[in-house]
Amino acid sequence: MGKIEEADEWYNRGVALQDKEKHEEAITCYDNAIKLNPKNSAAPRNNKGNSLYALEKYEEAITCHDETIKLNPEDPTAWYNKGVALNALEKYEEAIVCYDETIKLDPEDTFAWTNKGASLYALEKYEEAITCCDNAIKLNPKNLAAYNGKGNSLRKLGRDEDAEQCFSKATELDES
């Protein structure tokens, strides 16, 4: 077996462990995959970042996502995952930059639109947050988080009746 095949095997083992929420073991597998095939290791680095995030090691996760982006700057998933980790650290402005990059690369990423809205909400930019949530809802009319996010922003703007409509829709979706 060659190094590339062995790296793929370690990567696949890491994915299986990550699926079972065995993140420490998954990280070890991803490290082995990266060591065996360092030039083509965007996926193992990105997944390692996700496992680090699950372990609440946000700074380390960001480092992994930065390495992934360096290897493949056109990877919307790496940008999105970096944004999520930045959001966890309450670095909302930086997270928005990552979500914008994700959206530039994949305009139909409803999660990026929703999370950008959440970051804008945290920065008290409620109108902009509503726009992001509207974009997410347009792309996925069953996006519960986008309805809740929009409702929260509407409520902050004193538009309680509109907010209640969003919350009702979210409840309806949650129950279906």
Which of 23, 55, 89 is the last residue in one of the domains?
89
- pLDDT given for residue 58 in this prediction: 98
The rounded radius of gyration (Å) of the Cα atoms in the chain is 18
CATH number at 145 reads 1.25.40.10
- pLDDT given for residue 40 in this prediction: 77
Which of 26, 54, 89 is the last residue in one of the domains?
89
How far is 32 from 29, CA to CA, in rounded Å? 5
**Under-50 pLDDT residues of the chain:** none
How far is 154 from 164, CA to CA, in rounded Å? 9
| Residues 42 and 69 occupy one common structural domain | yes
81 Cβ contact list (under 8 Å, min separation 6): 46, 49, 50, 53, 61, 65
Name the pTM for this structure. Answer: 0.92
| Residues 165 and 124 occupy one common structural domain | yes
Burial class (CB in 10 A: 0-12, 13-18, 19+), 18: buried
